[in-house]
Amino acid sequence: MKILLINPFSSFKSAGVPFKLPNTSLATVYAIIKQAENEADLCDFQILDEPDLKLIDHYLDQKRYDIIGITVSIDVLEHVSQLITYIKEKNANTPIIIGGPPLLYQPELWLRETGADVAVIGEAELTIPELFPAIKSQSDLRNIKGIIYRSNGQFIRTQSRPRLKQLDQSPFPDYSLYDLEAYFRNPNFRWLFNDKRGLYLMSSRGCPYRCAYCCSGGGIRTYKTNQIILEIKLMIERYKLESIFVRDDIFTYNQERARAISEFLGETGISWACMTRPNLLCRKGDKQLIELMAANGCETIMIGVESYNQKVLDLNLKDVRISEIDQAIENCQASGLRIITFIIFGLPGETEESIKRNFEFIKKHEVEISANILQPLPGSKIYDDAIKQGGILDEVQYLKDFHFFWDREDYLPVNMTELPDEMIIQANIEAGKLRTKPTNIRHS
């Protein structure tokens, strides 16, 4: 089979500059396609400065594809809808499949609004090897688990597919279709990797916590440590990397595992960064773990603080104490790590006093800050509450407007507090003046 993969244009920005990232999920899909000995090309809109639908002509005019696959993230609904309309005007009979994290929570909405033929719900590792041959042979799709598709004007959702029990069933992402040099030149990309050639590494999926603003909760699954070590070796060799960002939500969750991966990264001599939570940096043994990480090339650690007010943390199910935040920062500073902390203005329970506390935190610890206004994510408790309370009246328009989150620091999509909009917006603007280099980290 000949398959065209598409990485759509995203307006994702940081500090007003487009933040270009090669899509890890699409790289994994390409690896699955290669395992089945199929051919694939990549049409990458993400490396463009502005979306130009005519980029697709270069591919459609030269080859006849059996399937077109498009990865989606929360901010690309409008572009993908326009793109599929454009494709169907030229190739009306080529089946179009979409996949990505948003389809876990709003599969019918995305299928309906984009005009795609099939949507993969959840992880693709087991679905694609069944789905692609079935589409090629024009077989009945009803027995393919984990999809929703169009049939005679109806949306048919098949039986759910269980999540992978063992992540080692998933192949390593293959970035060879990407023009990685174009990404390495992006200013924000280079800033994230300390001006070095770097890529993301996912050593786990999910999170066992249930924060109200997040949709990653529900459990954590990890790759075997020896598999991650092998992937690191291959990534460094294949892509000539100088840096890696371990993109797990909570890298330090399992101390023994984090220690083993850190030690191997140290053996490679490259620099690296990771993300985690405050309470996973101040347990017994965490100070020693942080020291080991720093000694083995970890330069940057990103910590989800969200609020420096205990009532706000509790109301949003953060399961973190203020004392743990302070201890986590002190432990990381003692090892000389560069620290970036996330703050969210406008969480439910936010008050004038809690906003003041956030600024006290910024001044007290003198760490880099990524401050943002709350943007409820589909699949999160806060999003569901916003629907129930009438804060989000039109889910489609809400998704189409999502790019304002990157484009405008004065954009407040939903006010989940009793504060005036202007107070929340101004707090975010003022925090933006204090941070050294803002960043936004999203799920791909």
Predicted confidence (pLDDT) per residue in 144-174, tens digit: 999 999 998 899 999 999 999 889 889 999 9
Tokens, residue 339: 């620290």
Q: Which residue, among 9, 17, 8, 7, has the nearest Cα to 406 in the 3D structure?
A: 17
Res. 18: pLDDT tops 70 = no
pLDDT, position 24: 93
Q: Which residue, among 1, 80, 97, 2, has the nearest Cα to 45 in the 3D structure?
A: 80
pLDDT, position 16: 55
| Burial class of residue 89, CB neighbours in 10 A (0-12, 13-18, 19+) | exposed
The string over 336-358, giving b where at least 16 C-beta atoms fall within 10 Å of a residue's C-beta and e elsewhere, is: ebbbbbbbbbbbbbbeeebbebb
Res. 364: pLDDT tops 50 = yes
Which residues on adjacent β-strands are paired with residue 187? none
Tokens, residue 43: 């049409």
pLDDT, position 402: 86
Name the pLDDT band for 443 (thresholds 50, 70, 90).
Answer: very low
Average pLDDT value for residue range 193-218: 92
pLDDT, position 15: 52
Res. 444: pLDDT tops 60 = no
Average pLDDT value for residue range 177-186: 91
Res. 184: pLDDT tops 80 = yes
Average pLDDT value for residue range 170-193: 88
Contact status, residue 68 vs residue 28, Cβ threshold 8 Å: no
Contact status, residue 417 vs residue 386, Cβ threshold 8 Å: no
Name the pLDDT band for 80 (thresholds 50, 70, 90).
Answer: very high
284 or 92, greater pLDDT: 284
Name the pLDDT band for 380 (thresholds 50, 70, 90).
Answer: very high
Over the Cα atoms of the chain, what is R_g? 22
Percent of the chain residues past pLDDT 90, beyond the cut: 83
pLDDT, position 441: 45
* Averaged pLDDT score across all residues of the chain: 92
Predicted confidence (pLDDT) per residue in 43-52, tens digit: 999 988 888 9
Q: Which helix (H) or strand (E) holds 157?
A: strand 154-157
pLDDT, position 331: 97
Q: Which residue, among 168, 224, 178, 226, has the nearest Cα to 200 in the 3D structure?
A: 178
Phi-psi region of 110 (alpha: psi -120 to 50; beta: other; left: phi over 0): alpha
Contact status, residue 371 vs residue 364, Cβ threshold 8 Å: no
Predicted confidence (pLDDT) per residue in 35-70, tens digit: 999 999 999 999 888 889 999 999 999 999 999 999
Domains and CATH numbers, the chain: 2-157 (3.40.50.280), 186-434 (3.20.20.70)
Residue with tokens 């003046």: 433
